[in-house]
Copies of this chain bind each other. A is one copy, B any other.
Amino acid sequence: MTKNRLEAFSDGVLAIIITIMVLELKIPHGTDWASLQSVLPFFLSYVLSFIYLAIYWNNHHHMLHTVKHVTGSILWANMHLLFWLSLIPFGTGWMAENHFAPIPVALYGINLLMAAISYFILQRIILRIDGNDSLLAKAIGKDIKGKISPVLYLIAIICSFFNQWVAGAIYVFVALMWLVPDSRIERTIYDDNHSANLK
């Protein structure tokens, strides 16, 4: 019951964040392709942020799937994650409106970094409660993606002051890295479920 409501609330917040972002796509005044082109930086930023939020929803979904006991610290670590994710539409809009100027690109990276850290904290807390033999511990394994991502965000933030396109390329790369299906993890979780169901 408790877990259901935590999931429902997180789903609600993520669904709203992902959809509210589209309000930054301001309707252009002209009616030709050129005026549509002025929306292009917004569109590209929107696609990137949409994918990031979708990845977070997806991973969050799998992680909470394994949780057995919802404690106060899980509730608050989850709120902390939602807080940083809720700022993504702002970061996306500032970056797009200024055609990927250095500081907005760096801020976008800081936002992604904070979200990654808060996700890591949430994961730590769940692991501490459910134990290292838990389903989640097995599923994550060495969590290489989770450890590389913050490092890459940090590199991108520094890069953005020299060449913001390199920073942008790193953001795209990290997104693609997560998009590639991590079949091993999914198998661990669902196999376990399956065998649990068979018992």
**Interface residues, chain A, with chain B CB atoms under 8 Å away:** 1-2, 5, 7-9, 11-20, 22-25, 27-28, 31-33, 36, 47, 50, 54, 57-58, 61, 65, 71-73, 75-76, 79, 82-83, 86-87, 89-90, 93-94, 97-98, 101-104, 107, 179, 181, 183, 186
Question: In the complex, A32 Cα to B161 Cα: how many Å?
Answer: 12
Taking chain A's interface residues, is the majority helix, strand, or loop, or is none over half, making it mixed? helix
Evaluate contact between B27 and A90: CB separation under 8 angstroms. yes
Q: Within the complex, what minimum Cβ distance (angstroms) separates A4 from chain B?
A: 9
Evaluate contact between A20 and B17: CB separation under 8 angstroms. no
Chain B residue contacts of A101, Cβ below 8 A: 31
Q: Within the complex, what minimum Cβ distance (angstroms) separates A170 from chain B?
A: 20
Evaluate contact between B13 and A103: CB separation under 8 angstroms. no
